[in-house]
Chains A and B, each alone.
Chain A
Amino acid sequence: MLKVVHYINQFFGQIGGEDKADTPPLVKEGPVGPGLALQQALGDQGKVVATIICGDSYFNEHVDEALAEILRMVEQYQPDLFVAGPAFFAGRYGIACATVCKAVQEKFGIPVVTGMYPENPGVDLCKKDVYVIKTGDSAAQMKDAITKMVKLALKMVNKEEIGTPEEEGYIPRGIRKNYFAQERASKRAVDMLVKKLKGEPYSTELPMPEFDRVPPAPAVKDLSKALVALVTSGGIVPKGNPDHIESSSASKFGKYDLEGIVALSSETHQTAHGGYDPVYANENPNRVLPVDVMRELEKEGKIGKLHRYYYATVGNGTPVAKAQQYGQAIAKELKDAGVQAVILTST
């Protein structure tokens, strides 16, 4: 029989309401509150061996301590499965469930599952890593939520294939997978068009993603004293492409020395980018990476200095997540080198 540990907050743990939200983590043997429904849904396939209860305020105000304590408690019981919540629309509770689930999954490598209302802020924290069953916004839907959570959890434990969000009832994790459909895509498009024309329901095969935003970094006060770096996603590399940066879906970025180079030329540099006509960039690489004019601006004192190294990758078919990784790595190196501003060119 599976050993299951359940995480809930002070309210569902029957300790008290908002006035008890600062309760530090504690553990009780067996199921408590919603744990009874959990035990019922598990039937004879599993046993809720322990319930960990923590106040929502305490968790959110002392994340590190609370998490360490909770992980220690989980470890004591060596569970096969970890269940948190459901947290419905309770924001702090959701954040706690998300944080705990991620940590338990990472540390113990066991299946974890939680449940939340889609607008709970905890969802975005963990949906990429953890299955979050989509619930209503209040505890009235407890039984339904627990039933789905258990069904999915047992599939994970038994290593069965997990179906789509619609089939299993979890919030989409944003992972795209290929499959062969019944009909060719042109036929699917025509069918969708007819439904849309008739006002009948249809479902898009690709919901529009949302991109996050970063607040603008403050302006550079005095560029004439600043160290400025060049970065490009246009694939300008030294002739011969020494790092073999791929023409599409680049798996790496390159860092190249500009010391002593007054201008790029077709003898010294080329593009590795496969997404555009390479003739113009190969003829004069300054058209993509403007070293020639940057040197002039440096000489005239418009900028303090051009950074000795430039960074290049190929932004063609390169997944956003990869581009993010490269961006972070390049940002770190540039900051460590004392660079104060960046000019990034794209094709």
Chain B
Amino acid sequence: MKLELGNIFIKDVIFSNETKVVDGVLHVNKEAIIEALMQDPRLAKVDIDLAKPGEEVRIIPVKDVIEPRVKVSGPGGVFPGFISKVSTVGSGRTHVLKNTAVVTTGTIVGFQEGIIDMSGEGAKYTPFSKTLNIVIVCEPVEGLPKHEHEEVVRLAGLRAAALIGEAGRNVEPDEVKVYETLPLFESVKKYPGLPRVGYVYQLQSQGLLHDTYVYGVDAKKILPTFMYPTEPMDGAIVSGNCVSACDKNPTYVHQNNPVIEDLYERHGKDYNFVGVIITNENVTLADKERSSDYTAKLVEYLGLDAVIINEEGFGNPDTDLIMNCKKISEKGIKTVLITDEYAGRDGQSQSLADVDKTADAVVSVGNANEIVHLPPMKKVIGDPKAANVIAGGFEGALAPDGSITVELQAITASTSEVGFGTLAAKGY
């Protein structure tokens, strides 16, 4: 399977009467997008705002971040199972409006989501302080059940991203990156001398605001399965989760999964990157045992020599990570894990809820309990009062001057466990 990603580097984004790309500037027709989103009768009100790098702007609470793209050739369309019909993606050509992101926000009472600051201390920790953000503020109709409320906002984000991505269809990309993975036997034949490596991609699947979707299927209902690496790169995986936003993967991160990108970097040289195994992090012990058994079995069946395993989240998913590590290691297959830590605000607590001696090669993406002070911003998109109830926040987190004191865990993708950022932790 071969995917061409045509990157169109966007320099700026402005509102306009037509959604289009002109000389690297993205024009967005706000009214038309609002009108299209309002087709969903469960939405009472939609507004669109812009937030650019360096501005004194805070977006809170953030639900999802999505990269606008359009499928130019090849089977399938954007976000199969949601926006496009279900059809295998990951081949052909997709155009990307690089440096831009669609961000969804809006008060969801009793839920908790992340923070994106476009400047100041908080901006250092979130990758989305560096993107030109088109922020969709959603207000659903009153009395909507929570599960539906989540779905409405999730779909609004995907729809907006698809509408905006369409502007890149007929634009000549500034760069084209090609990613190719051969069918297993051909791949092994092509690189007979190289060790075979894979990627065990754990997906958060714990219920409301903790879910992930694969081709439209709720990941808690899947058995671990095998995928071409270009499928998630082409929108097969969609985020429905954002609680403790630091280590949850927004859709943007799935589209740009850095483990997949970096495994491709040395593919064919140091090893043969044969593919991706997706698995879930469910809420019962039986599910955890079944999924980790299944994952280890697939790793063995595919004849892999080594795998990278990432966690999504913390707490009970630590067990999924450790079970996967232990069961795969016991088959004599090498593992490297990526996780964040919950070592307390003073860094003195044990970092993980579950541990095992086979976990001897771990990359840490930081201690999510560390405190950060976010200065007041001139403009807040969303609802600043959310700082008191979001995960990582606490009563009084929001000061009268508008500054916020929170744990890193409240900042979107700050401790991304697919390794999106450079943050790390070490022992003293």
Check A-B contact in the complex, CB < 8 A: yes
A residues near B, CB below 8 A?
128, 162, 164-165, 172-190, 192-194, 196-197, 202, 204-209, 211, 244, 246-249, 251, 274-279, 315-322
* Interface contact B351-A176, CB-CB below 8 Å: yes
Cβ of B361 within 8 Å of any chain A Cβ, yes or no, is yes
Pairwise interchain contact A246-B341, C-beta atoms closer than 8 A: no
Q: Given A205-B364, A208-B355, answer yes or no on A197-B342 (Cβ-Cβ < 8 Å).
A: no
**New contact pairs (6) apart from A174-B348, A186-B419, CB-CB < 8 Å:** A177-B347, A184-B421, A185-B420, A186-B418, A190-B263, A319-B343
User: What total of A-B pairs shows CB separation below 8 Å?
Assistant: 240
Q: Is B303 interfacial (CB-CB < 8 Å)?
A: no
Measured between alpha carbons, how far is A178 from B365 in the docked complex, in Å? 8
| Candidates B146, B195, B349, B424; contact of A279 at CB < 8 Å | B146
Complex: A274 Cα to B207 Cα, angstroms: 11
A181 in contact with B423 (CB, 8 Å): yes
Which B residues are CB-close (under 8 A) to A192?
Answer: 336, 361, 363
B 257-311 contacts with A by CB, 8 A? 258-259, 261-263, 265-266, 270-271, 283, 305-306, 308
- Report Cα–Cα, A180/B356, bound state, in Å: 27
Chain B residues, CB < 8 A from A277: 206-210
Considering only residues 331-360 of chain B, those with a C-beta below 8 Å from chain A are 334, 336, 338-339, 341-352, 355-357, 359-360
Interface residues on B, range: 35 or more
Task: Assess whether B308 is in contact with A189, with CB atoms less than 8 Å apart.
Answer: yes
State whether A185 touches B208 (Cβ < 8 A). Answer: no
The listed residue (B306, B347, B352) touching A175 by CB distance below 8 A is B347
User: With A192-B336, A208-B359, A317-B315 in contact, do A186 and B342 touch (Cβ < 8 Å)?
Assistant: no
Q: Is there contact, CB below 8 Å, between B427 and A165?
A: yes
The reply to whether A321 and B348 form a contact with Cβ atoms under 8 Å apart is yes
B252 at the interface (CB under 8 A from A): no
Known: A193-B308, A317-B314. A179 touches B391 (CB 8 A): no
Contacts of A177 in B (CB 8 A): 347, 367, 370, 425-426, 428
Q: Verify A274–B344 contact, CB threshold 8 A.
A: no
Determine whether the beta carbon of A204 is less than 8 Å from that of B361.
Answer: yes
- Chain A residue with Cβ nearest B273: A190
Q: Is the interface of A mostly helix, strand, loop or mixed?
A: loop
Given contacts A175-B348, A275-B315, A317-B391, contact A189 B259 (CB under 8 A): yes
Contacts A204-B360, A249-B409; A186 near B262 (Cβ below 8 A): yes
17 A-B residue pairs with Cβ-Cβ distance under 8 Å, sorted by A, are: A179-B423, A184-B262, A185-B365, A185-B422, A193-B197, A196-B336, A205-B425, A206-B363, A208-B355, A211-B350, A248-B243, A249-B409, A277-B206, A278-B110, A316-B244, A317-B314, A322-B344
Contact check, A276 vs B363: say whether CB atoms are below 8 A apart.
no
In angstroms, Cα B421 to Cα A182, docked, is: 10
What is the CB-to-nearest-CB distance from A315 to chain B, in angstroms, rounded to a whole number? Answer: 8
Min C-beta distance of A105 to chain B, whole Å: 16
Q: How far is the CA of A176 from the CA of B370 in the complex (A)?
A: 10
Interface-centre pick from B349, B360, B416 (highest chain A CB count, 10 A):
B349
Residue from the list A187, A244, A275 in contact with B262, Cβ < 8 A: A187
